[in-house]
Amino acid sequence: MNRCACDVPSHNYTWSFEPKTDWSANYATSEEIYDYFKSFSDKYGLEKFIKFRHQVIGARWDEQEALWHVTVQDLATGNTIERTAQILINAGGILNSWRFPPIPGINSFKGPLVHSAAWPKFGLELTGKTVGLIGNGSSGIQILPAIKDRVGKLVTFIREGTWVAPPLGGEYKAYSKEDKENFAADKETEAQSNSMFGIFHQGSQQQKSLQQYMNGLMKQKLGNPQLEKVLIPKWAVGCRRLTPGTNYLESLNDPKVQTVYGEITNITPTGVICDDGKGEYPVDVLICATGFDTTFKPRFSVDGARGAKLQDMWKDEPQAYLGIAVDHCPNYMFTLGPNCPIGNGPVLISIEAEVEYMIKILSKFQKENISAFEVRSDAVEDFNQWTATWMKDTIWAEPCRSWYKAGSASGKILALWPGSTLHYLEALREPRWEDWIFTRPSGSNRFQYLGNGHSTAEANGGDLAYYIRNHDDSYIDPSLKRVHCPSLG
């Protein structure tokens, strides 16, 4: 198959300060997305800071030294080395560790067993085969129509229905030269992504209108009362990730495709058994489109201060501060942590905001002779309490099984921000210093950073009138623009 592509508009996969106006199509392939980030890395010379084929396997905080001791394995040789760092940032994100479903007997299957996130490099022979497909999330919805014409029979195993949307940027379209020229000054794609947040509020007009539209659309595309009964959810659109799918619903009516609805109870050497009482469904090949580890626990051990172990702290319910920090782990920050806006709107701009926030922390750390910083436990508790209360009025709280809730139907919402993406950007605009504990070396003075009394601008060649400007172009809070300065809105 090897036709991996994004299912949201290509332009959502760019940094705000490094636009790409020449995407080949509205849904870029994985190769084209990779090329964008590789070109970005080359442009800014980032590879000299990267150790490839090296994996962090553990990190331990030393309170006396105020240092992280990081154990790294060289994947080429298998050797391990230890590095120390004043600051440790885990930018591994989320949805980066694929896993097979914990179904009894899965390792006994004798045919090819494939995960959608680890597709064989040289393809998978499916011609004339009976293929089992587990999962109807983002990957499963892309895979089914892509392989159905090649297989002899396709059995798709679905645990529950899901809302399948039309492509968010319209049907697949190759961009013309004129399209690419227009994108240089067009922010519509990003603005559209930010305009949809109203659908996540229970009872909102946007939600009601979308629910009505989606219900009608799915019935029209399925045209099969039995499939409609099992595939159209009772819960609100967006409770699980709203999944765009081209030709997925129509493909379920293909004579080659058999839809099996229910819980898989066992996998045998030759097939799959469900709780529908119909015995084994024989398959030659089994494809698991079953997602990733969504626990937020790092893929390596993190031993923090005062005997705390992050894997234990987050074993049942991860709690973080603004999606970027956690108590008991000094000088440790991360991107896309618990309760960040991973599904609220555009994601890359959220990562930018997180990194800019970290830079402010690091600037204070460097400038003011600080040895350690740690978010306060009561700040973490207050943020999580506020988040849990706010989430009760969203459609995410409805009884759908979602990775937003660690795969449960009624659990705590762990993977989303209590607000829109734009709201998140404003929340991270300036650090709340009162939420942090700063430690300085013993005997040092907090004002020691004032140094010799001279500004760096007074160094040789500095601008001694840098504050003179023709207009005030500093940042203005959006809410103040509207309330106090309507002419600036």
| Angle made by CA atoms 221, 225, 227, in degrees to the nearest 5 | 70
Alpha helices in 368-465 (DSSP H): 377-391, 421-427
Mean pLDDT computed over 292-300: 92
| Strand partners of residue 165 | 244
Task: Pick the closest to residue 232 from 400, 441, 444 (CA basis).
Answer: 400
* Rounded Cα–Cα distance for residues 407 and 423 (Å): 26
Whole-number pLDDT of residue 95: 87
Question: Is 249 inside a domain boundary?
Answer: yes
Is 305 a residue whose pLDDT tops 90? yes
- Position 47 confidence tier, pLDDT thresholds 50, 70, 90: very high
- Alpha carbon of residue 84 to chain centroid: 28
* Statement: residue 106 has pLDDT above 90: yes
Does some domain include residue 90? no
Q: Is residue 303 part of a domain?
A: no
User: Residue 24: what pLDDT?
Assistant: 87
pLDDT at 1 over 90: no
Higher pLDDT, 467 or 2: 467
Nearest to 84 by CA among 52, 55, 54, 62: 62
Of the residues 259, 288, 317, the one at which a domain ends: 288
Tokens describing residue 258 = 């058999």
Which residue, of 288, 322, 338, is where some domain finishes? 288
169 within domain boundaries: yes
Contacts of 194 (CB under 8 A, 6+ apart): 345, 346, 420, 421, 422
Residue 484 has pLDDT above 50, yes or no: no
Count of the separate structural domains present in the chain: 2
Q: Which range marks the domain in which residue 256 is found?
A: 106-288
Q: Which of 398, 418, 95, 420 is nearest to 239 (CA)?
A: 398
124-148 average pLDDT score = 95
Q: b/e for 250-268, b at 16 or more Cβ within 10 A?
A: ebbeeeebebbbeebeebb
Cα separation, 359 vs 375, in Å, equals: 15
Residue 300 within any structural domain of the chain: no
What pLDDT score was predicted for residue 172? Answer: 54
Highest mean pLDDT among 181-185, 196-200, 318-322: 318-322
Lowest mean pLDDT among 18-27, 312-321, 331-340: 18-27
Of 22-26, 126-130, 136-140, the range with the highest mean pLDDT is 126-130
Domain annotation covers residue 97: no
**Which residues share a beta bridge with 134?**
157, 288
Parallel/antiparallel/unpaired status of strands 332-334 and 88-90:
parallel
Among the ranges given (187-196, 201-210, 475-484), the one the predictor scored with the smallest mean pLDDT: 475-484
Number of H helices, E strands in the chain: 12, 18
Question: Which range scores top for mean pLDDT: 185-199, 219-233, 461-475?
Answer: 219-233
Contact 53, 74 (CB under 8 A): yes
- Domain termination site, one of 288, 310, 332: 288
Burial degree of 473 (CB within 10 A; 0-12, 13-18, 19+): exposed
Question: Max Cα separation, the chain?
Answer: 83
Percent of the chain with pLDDT over 90: 75
Nearest CA to 73 out of 51, 103, 42 is that of 51
Q: 192, 267, 193, 258: which is closest to 230 by C-alpha?
A: 258
Both tokens assigned to 169: 């940027």
Q: Is the pLDDT of residue 219 over 50?
A: yes
Mean pLDDT of 404-409: 87
State the Cα–Cα distance between residues 397 and 382, nearest whole angstrom.
20
Of the candidate ranges 9-13, 167-171, 232-236, 452-456, the one whose mean pLDDT is the lowest? 167-171
Pick 421 or 473 by higher pLDDT.
421
Rounded Cα distance between 235 and 9, Å, is 26
Examine residue 339 and state whether it is found in any structural domain, yes or no.
Answer: no
Residue 130 lies in a domain: yes
In one-letter notation, the amino acid at residue 297 is K
